[in-house]
């Protein structure tokens, strides 16, 4: 599923989960950029729990690499977290999907609960060139 801004949805906003799982396969082979900004948006939680979200790649949308190609830091609170997904080192990847795992500890119910979403937006080549040039100039 994509929007007019060529933003792909790896996990729809407002998705409520209580166990580990996977988002749908999203094709990225049609984009001109191989570098993306992935954003994890957590909108609701319960106390004393953690969420781990990673992104996996696939050449065909059916067979997935054993190791993730990007991962967000472990999260405990609501908010937005970006991560850069650079597929230039993964030329065979044509599809990506989000995978999440969660844990809960302490008092109350043992079942974790998170409401979150993950988006993926390509970074245009001219923006990458400009950022790279600026970072070299300041190094």
67 phi and psi, to 5 degrees?
A: -115, 140
pLDDT at 106: 82
Residue at 37 is within a domain: yes
Whichever domain contains 121, its CATH number is 2.60.120.380
Residues in Cβ contact with 89 at an 8 Å cutoff, skipping those fewer than 6 apart: none
pLDDT tens column, 17-69: 999 999 999 999 988 889 999 999 999 999 899 999 999 999 999 999 999 99
Residue 1 pLDDT exceeds 90: no
Q: Write out the residue range of the structural domain in which residue 56 sits.
A: 9-138
Count the domains in the chain. Answer: 1
For residue 5, what pLDDT band results from cuts at 50, 70 and 90?
A: very low
pLDDT tens column, 70-90: 999 999 999 999 999 999 999
Q: Is the Cβ–Cβ distance between 135 and 67 less than 8 Å?
A: no
């Amino acid at each position: 599923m994509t929007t007019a801004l060529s933003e792909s949805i790896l996990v729809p906003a407002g998705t409520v989960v209580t166990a580990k799982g996977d988002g749908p396969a999203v094709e990225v082979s049609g984009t001109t950029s191989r570098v993306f900004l992935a954003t994890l948006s957590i909108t609701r939680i319960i106390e004393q729990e953690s969420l781990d979200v990673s992104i996996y790649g696939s050449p065909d949308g059916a067979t997935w690499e054993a190791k993730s190609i990007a991962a967000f830091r472990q999260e405990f609170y609501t908010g937005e977290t970006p991560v850069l997904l650079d597929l230039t080192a993964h030329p065979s990847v044509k599809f990506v999907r989000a995978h999440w795992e969660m844990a809960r500890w302490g008092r109350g119910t043992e079942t974790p609960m998170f409401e979150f979403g993950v988006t993926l937006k390509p970074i245009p080549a001219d923006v990458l060139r400009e950022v790279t040039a600026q970072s070299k100039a300041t190094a």
